[in-house]
Amino acid sequence: MNLQFETLQLAFGEDKVGIVTMNRPDALNAMNTMMMRELRDCFAEFYVEEDAAACLVLTGSGSRGFCTGADLKERKGMTDETWRKQHAIAEQMVRAIVNCPIPVIAAVNGFAYAGGMEIALACDFAYAAEHARFALTEVTLGIIPGAMGTQNLPRAVGVRRAKEIILTGTPFTAEQAHDWGMVNKVCADGALMAEVQAVAGRIAENAPVSVRQAKKALDKATELDRMSGYAFEIEAYNRTVVTQDRQEGINAFNEKRKPQYKGR
């Protein structure tokens, strides 16, 4: 797969954990059109090349910004038509992240504002540094969240809290994000990546097909009624029964050794 991007850095470890770093530190990793395109294309490739990694970590370069949303300097003076075309790319981008079959963990290492916070919400779960700050500021700029923020935030924190966050546009802390259920863990500033890579490595040790199928089934929990979701779960479950990894997992347990999963 393509590893060369202008605004992203990709790195893969021997543990099959891939790290995707948004790399515009001078702009606090704000997204220009190029970054939107490259995030879209990067995660779309993982949809095709799902064996390229067993778990992904998405973070920002530097220590101040995860991503501060769309680059408003680039947007200054944009015509309505150009704005809509750029936003269509952002829509494709967030869909690519949400639809990625590989688990994606957000490592929020600084400001996650507007579209940046929406990117964190689009990931499967998030860890944040103590100094990280969050906000959906769109209503203060005459627009509304447009990268699934009005859909993903209520699923994370509840509708009433989401309304407060979105309608006021008020920033909040990593600790508040944790208390409200948006962030899974708050880490000491210097320990964020080590802790995220540890949990990503734990995921990557498990059977790849099982992990991907479990992710698909979990995503349906808030989209379908319980029995329809259970029907989807059983379909996902049955796809794991026929794998070599299922046999390897049972054999390894009985032989008291670590399993060697192949993703087959």
d(CA 252, CA 48): 30
- The letter for the amino acid at 142 is G
> Of the listed 6, 118, 130, 233, which one is catalytic?
118
Residues forming beta bridges with residue 8, ordered by sequence position: 22
Q: How many residues can be counted in the chain?
A: 264
118 has catalytic annotation? yes
The dihedral sign for the CA sequence 167, 68, 37, 108: negative
Please give the DSSP secondary-structure letter assigned to residue 61. S
**Residue found by looking up tokens 């103590």 in the block:** 130
The conformation of residue 254, written as its DSSP 8-state character, comes to: H
**Which candidate, 6, 24, 222, 2, places its Cα nearest to that of 115?**
24
Token readout for 22 is 């948004």
> Treating both helix axes as pointing N-terminal to C-terminal, what angle do 149-157 and 159-168 enclose, rounded to 10 degrees?
130
Q: 49, 130, 138, 255: which one is catalytic?
A: 138
Other residues' Cβ atoms within 10 Å of the Cβ of residue 111: 24
CA–CA separation, 149 vs 56, rounded Å? Answer: 21
Note if 130 is an active site residue.
Answer: no
Cα Rg, the chain, nearest whole Å: 19
| Burial grade of 226 (CB within 10 A; 0-12, 13-18, 19 or more) | exposed
Residues 6+ away with beta carbon under 8 Å from 72 = 30, 141
**Residues taking part in catalysis:** 118, 138
